[in-house]
Every structure is written in C-alpha cells, then in structure tokens.
C-alpha cells in the first residue's frame, strides 16, 4: 500500500496539480491538509472520477483536512475525540481495509509564547489523548500530516535561521516526541537517518530556490505498520513548476 501526505495549501488552487499528481504517483491513500474550503465546495466528484473516495472535514477559508482512498473508507471521524469545542477543522480519521488512517493539520503556532502557540501545544496534548483513548500501539495506525515542527536540526537546512521559530521549538518537539513515545515511528527517518531532506519551503525569500527548507510533514506508523514499511520519500519534484503548494508530498510504501 502506498500512502502519502500533502499540505496542498488550498484544494481549489491546487486541483489541477492534485489530479496530475494522483495520476503520476498513484497512491492508494492520500492525506490532505489546508483544504481552505467547506465540504460542499470540495471537488469530490472530480476525485471520484479519478478513482478516489473522499472523507472530508472542511472549513471556510482556513484549515480543512481530508483522506482520499482507492478503497472505500469506513468509520470516518472528524475532530479530536474529547470534550473540547474546536472550531478549527484539523483532524479526520478513517478505517481503510484494516488500517486506521489519520490526517492531521497541527496548528502553526505563529510565534513562541503567543496565544496561537499555546493553542498548538494544547492541540498536540489533545491529539495524544485522542490516540490513547481510541487506539492501542499494537493497532495498525498511520498518523500523517503537517505537524508544523521539524523534529531535529538535521531536518532544517539552516538551523540558525530557524532557531527561534515555532517550527523548531524544543517544547513543541517534546510534545510531538510524547506522541511518538506512545508507539509511533517517523518512517521517513528510518530510511533517511542523515536528514538534509525537506518537505516545506517558504514562498517568501526564494525559499525553494535557495533550498531553505524544513521537514515538517510526517508519516508516523505504529510498530506493526512500521515493520511493513519498505520505502519513504519526499516528492521534491512537486514543489517545482507553476503554482506549486509550499509543501511537497511525503510518500511511504507498506507491504500488504
């Protein structure tokens, strides 16, 4: 099974590239983030024509997540499963065959110490609670998405430039570390221990041209799934050309 995660930064702005990429990469499952549309405006018909079912949790203007799959998904759930009343659409999960797939868009946090930063940390704790409440580390779970954090400085092209950024913040790294400690493996890291590969480049300051990137998009697999992982790559090509997203897709392959 080939699964990918991609922050498309608006599904409407990226629709053509998305369809072209699906045709080229042919993943079985694709987790999307930053749809920036309400459910009704999501191009579900076009994607169904392309061979993909869609589980969508949309929102006007901001956020929005989805899971596309060749097989029909079941048990679709939207939002974090707790008492929190979160107006931001940042999580959706579905069962595809016998695998739990979660598409997550972790808050950016803007600036360390800000209100949005506090929301980011709180959201990550809630995500940990969501996993503990609903799953066991022995289940077949794939948690994919834009985590808005590079877990190690070797995943940052110019660490000195980003040392004060929310994308490299140690408290955030520790919060994601606790999610991993529950029983999840960063599968890209397993295949690329040296770093130096990135999934996001700022539109500003010629970020991509200068390769001033960070690896902030991740595929986390529970151990039973991680054992089956045979490949993990970042499709850097997709960041090139006309009207790219600022993120490239991250792709992993699991034995059946």
Partner DNA sequence: ATGGTTGCTTAGCAA
Alpha carbons 32 and 8: distance in angstroms, whole number: 7
Which positions from 7 to 26 touch DNA by CB under 7 A, shown as an x/- string? --xx-xx-------------
Q: Which secondary structure element, helix H or strand E, spans residue 160, and what is its range? A: helix 159-162
Is-catalytic flag, 119? no
Please tell me the count of residues contacting DNA according to CB under 7 A.
18
Dihedral class, residue 38 (left if φ above 0, else alpha if ψ from -120 to 50, else beta): beta
Alpha carbons 157 and 195: distance in angstroms, whole number: 9
- Residue 50 near residue 20, CB atoms below 8 Å: no
Considering 146, 155, 169, 186, which one is annotated as catalytic?
146
Cα end-to-end span (Å), the chain: 6
Considering 52, 105, 117, 198, which one is annotated as catalytic?
105
Residue 21 or 254: which CB sits closer to DNA? 21
Residues 62, 113, 174, 230: which binds DNA (CB under 7 A)? 62
Q: Is 239 in the site for DNA (CB under 7 A)?
A: no
Residue 28 or 155: which CB sits closer to DNA? 155
Q: Closest separation between CB of residue 137 and DNA, Å?
A: 29
Q: Which residues contribute to the site for DNA (CB under 7 A)?
A: 9-10, 12-13, 36, 60-63, 107-108, 110, 116, 148, 203-205, 243
């Amino acid at each position: 099974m080939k699964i990918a995660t991609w922050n498309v930064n608006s599904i409407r702005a990226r629709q053509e590239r998305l369809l072209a990429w699906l045709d080229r990469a042919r993943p079985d499952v694709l987790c999307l983030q930053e749809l920036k549309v309400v459910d009704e405006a999501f191009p579900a018909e076009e994607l169904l024509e392309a061979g993909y079912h869609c589980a969508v949790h949309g929102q006007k203007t901001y956020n929005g997540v989805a899971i596309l799959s060749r097989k029909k998904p079941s048990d679709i759930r939207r939002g974090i499963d707790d008492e929190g009343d979160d107006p931001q659409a940042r999580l959706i999960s579905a069962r595809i065959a016998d695998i739990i797939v979660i598409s997550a868009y972790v808050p950016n946090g803007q600036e360390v110490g800000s209100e949005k930063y506090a929301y980011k940390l709180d959201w990550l704790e809630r995500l940990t609670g969501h996993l503990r409440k609903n799953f066991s580390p022995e289940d077949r779970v794939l948690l994919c998405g834009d985590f808005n954090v590079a877990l190690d400085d070797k995943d940052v092209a110019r660490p000195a430039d980003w040392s004060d950024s929310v994308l490299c913040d140690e408290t955030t790294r520790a919060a994601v570390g606790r999610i991993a400690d529950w029983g999840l493996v960063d599968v890209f890291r397993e295949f690329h221990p040296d770093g130096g590969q990135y999934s996001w480049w700022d539109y500003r300051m010629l970020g991509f041209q200068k390769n001033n990137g960070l690896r902030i998009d991740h595929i986390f697999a529970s151990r039973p799934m991680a054992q089956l992982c045979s490949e993990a790559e970042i499709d850097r090509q997709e960041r090139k050309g006309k009207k790219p997203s600022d993120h490239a897709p991250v792709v992993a392959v699991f034995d059946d």
